Structure 1
Amino acid sequence: MSDPKRERGLCEIYQDDPERADHLVFGRRAHADRRGFLRGAGLAAMGALLGASIPFHRNMPAGLIPAALAEETELSLFETKDGLVLLNDRPVNAETPAHLLDDSVTPNARHFVRNNGTVPDMALAMDARDWRLTVDGAVDTPLSLSLDDLRSRFEVVKLKLQIECGGNGRAGFNPPAKGNQWTLGAIGNAEWTGVRYADVLKAAGVKSEAIYTAHYGMDGHLSGNPDKLPISRGVPLAKAMEPHSLIAFEMNGQPIPALNGFPVRTICPGWPGSTSQKWLRRIELRDVVHDGPKMTGTSYRVPYYNVAPGTKVDKEDFRIIESMPVKSLITTPRSNMTVNARNLALRGHAWAGDAAVSKMHVSIDFGANWIEAELDAPPNPYSWQDWRAAVTFPEKGYYEVWARATDDQGRMQPFAVNWNPKGYLNNTMHRIAVTVAA
Structure 2
Amino acid sequence: MENQNMSASIRKPLPPEHFIVHGTSAETRWEALRGHGEITPNELFFVRNHTTTPLIDVDTWRLRLWGTGLRRVTEYGYRDLLAMPSETLTAFIECAGNGRRLFTEQQGQPVHGISWRLGAVGVARWRGVRLATLLERSGLKPEAVAVMATGLDADYIEDGVNHGRVRRPLPLAKAMDDVLVAYEMNGRPLPPDHGFPARLVVPGWVGIASIKWLGDIEVSTEPLSSPWTTRFYRTAAGEPLREVVVKSAFELEWGARLETGRTHVLHGRSWSGHGAVTRVEFSADLGATWHPVSLIGRPSAHGWARWTVSWTPTTRGEHRLLARATDASGAVQPSHTPSDGTGYQFGAVAHHPVTLV
Distance 2:230 2:15 in 1: 32
Identify the residue that residue 336 of structure 2 maps to in structure 1.
416
Which structure has more RCO (C-alpha within 8 Å, separation ≥ 6)?
2
The alignment partner of 2:167 has SS state of: coil
Deviation track 1:343-385 (CA, whole Å, cap 9, x = no partner) reads 1111111111032211101011111111101224557531112
Question: Which of residues 102, 106, 115 is equivalent to 1:172?
Answer: 102
Distance 1:398 1:380 in 2: 34
Identify the residue that residue 66 of structure 2 maps to in structure 1.
136
> Which deviates further from its counterpart, 96-105 or 277-286?
96-105
Identify the residue that residue 320 of structure 2 maps to in structure 1.
400
Q: What letter matches 2:75 in structure 1?
A: S
1:378–1:238 distance in 2 versus 1, CA, 3 Å? farther
Distance 2:156 2:327 in 1: 39
Pairing 1:271–2:205 present: yes
Pairing 1:358–2:278 present: yes
Q: What letter matches 1:403 in structure 2?
A: A
Pairing 1:161–2:95 present: no
The alignment partner of 2:13 has SS state of: helix
- Contact 1:160–1:379 (CA under 8 A) maintained in structure 2: no
Identify the residue that residue 303 of structure 1 maps to in structure 2.
236
Where in structure 1 are there 5+ consecutive unaligned residues? 1-7, 13-70, 305-317
Deviation track 1:45-71 (CA, whole Å, cap 9, x = no partner) reads xxxxxxxxxxxxxxxxxxxxxxxxxx9
Identify the residue that residue 83 of structure 2 maps to in structure 1.
152
Distance 1:385 1:140 in 2: 43
Question: Which of residues 84, 94, 98 is equivalent to 2:26?
Answer: 94
Distance 1:413 1:283 in 2: 35
The alignment partner of 1:114 has SS state of: coil
The alignment partner of 1:295 has SS state of: helix
Distance 2:300 2:327 in 1: 16
> Which deviates further from its counterpart, 179-188 or 141-150?
141-150
Q: What letter matches 2:30 in structure 1?
A: A
- Contact 2:277–2:300 (CA under 8 A) maintained in structure 1: no
> Which deviates further from its counterpart, 408-417 or 326-335?
326-335
Q: What letter matches 1:242 in structure 2?
A: D
Larger radius of gyration: 1
Distance 2:273 2:60 in 1: 35
Deviation track 1:98-150 (CA, whole Å, cap 9, x = no partner) reads 2123332111111111111232241xxxx411111111211123321111111
C-alpha deviation, 1:272, in angstroms: 1.0
C-alpha deviation, 1:252, in angstroms: 1.2
C-alpha deviation, 1:197, in angstroms: 1.7
1:188–1:251 distance in 2 versus 1, CA, 3 Å? same
TM-score by length of 1: 0.73
Q: Report the structure, 1 or 2, having the larger helix content.
A: 1
Percentage of identical aligned residues = 33
Pairing 1:235–2:170 present: yes
Identify the residue that residue 248 of structure 1 maps to in structure 2.
182
Pairing 1:212–2:142 present: no
The alignment partner of 1:282 has SS state of: strand
Q: What letter matches 2:83 in structure 1?
A: S
Identify the residue that residue 266 of structure 2 maps to in structure 1.
346
- Contact 2:167–2:228 (CA under 8 A) maintained in structure 1: yes
TM-score by length of 2: 0.89
Where in structure 2 are there 5+ consecutive unaligned residues? none
C-alpha deviation, 1:405, in angstroms: 0.4
Identify the residue that residue 41 of structure 1 maps to in structure 2.
none
Superposed, which structure 2 residues align to 1:313-332 within 5 Å? Answer: 318-332=238-252
Q: What letter matches 1:97 in structure 2?
A: R
Distance 1:250 1:81 in 2: 24
- Contact 1:118–1:222 (CA under 8 A) maintained in structure 2: no
Q: What letter matches 2:122 in structure 1?
A: G
1:80–1:146 distance in 2 versus 1, CA, 3 Å? farther
- Contact 1:159–1:380 (CA under 8 A) maintained in structure 2: no
How many residues are paired up? Answer: 345
C-alpha deviation, 1:395, in angstroms: 4.6
Identify the residue that residue 227 of structure 2 maps to in structure 1.
293
Question: Which of residues 15, 34, 39 is equivalent to 1:105?
Answer: 39
Distance 1:289 1:378 in 2: 38
